[in-house]
Amino acid sequence: LITNKQNIVLSATNADCILLLFFDPVKKVIANVHSGWRGTLKRISVKAVEKMVKEFGCREQDIICCMCPSIRKCHFEVDKDVKDMFEQEYKNTQGINLEEIIEEKIKDKKWNIDTILINRIILKNAGLKEENIVDSGLCSVCHSDEIHSYRAEKEGYGLNTALICGRG
């Protein structure tokens, strides 16, 4: 969701996926983006920035991105098929070290993936300043007593909501 309209609230929900709040203080443009692992594979965060630039005249270096609480590498465990998709998508991406973003859990034949770091790197590659990418640093699973997490709660899980509003 992206808008430059004032007094409009953009809302998105999650239960482990990354919610990204974007704000351009110069052009007064806001965005609220839901990026699960599939969205991260499709680089939805970068597509949102590209749309802010193309449709609203934003400059990448002016955009601020806030990464809300979400599942982190410590708990984002995947099977080989998902691991392989991430390796294929990001093997030639500037700044991506596959050994840093994908950690093998040898005894389980599972892998942990750092989708937060991936989004940070691809947003920097898209032109956002490092200091304009703000991470909450909270894992939804580690903090499931405070933040809803599908992986921690399973059936009957709740949802978190991220809101952003443009004001004149």
Q: How many CB atoms lie within 10 A of CB 84?
A: 13
Radius of gyration of the chain (CA): 16
Calculated CA dihedral for residues 116, 121, 123, 125, nearest 10 degrees: -170
Give the pairing type, strands 133-135 and 64-67: parallel
SS3 at position 115: helix
Strand ranges (E), the chain: 2-3, 9-14, 18-24, 29-35, 64-67, 77-78, 102-105, 110-113, 133-135, 160-165
Separation of alpha carbons 71 and 149, rounded Å: 8
- The half-sphere exposure of 97 on its side-chain side, counting CA atoms within 13 A, is 3
Record the tokens describing residue 156, joined without a space: 């009957």
Cβ–Cβ < 8 Å for 101, 70: no
Cβ–Cβ < 8 Å for 135, 116: yes
Confidence at residue 107, expressed as pLDDT on a 0 to 100 scale: 79
Confidence at residue 106, expressed as pLDDT on a 0 to 100 scale: 79
Confidence at residue 168, expressed as pLDDT on a 0 to 100 scale: 63
Confidence at residue 167, expressed as pLDDT on a 0 to 100 scale: 79
SS3 at position 78: strand
- Each residue's pLDDT tens digit in the chain (168 positions)? 999 999 999 999 999 999 999 999 999 999 999 999 999 999 999 999 999 999 999 999 999 999 999 999 999 999 999 999 999 999 999 999 999 999 998 778 999 999 999 999 999 999 999 999 999 999 999 999 999 999 999 998 999 999 999 876
Model pTM score: 0.95
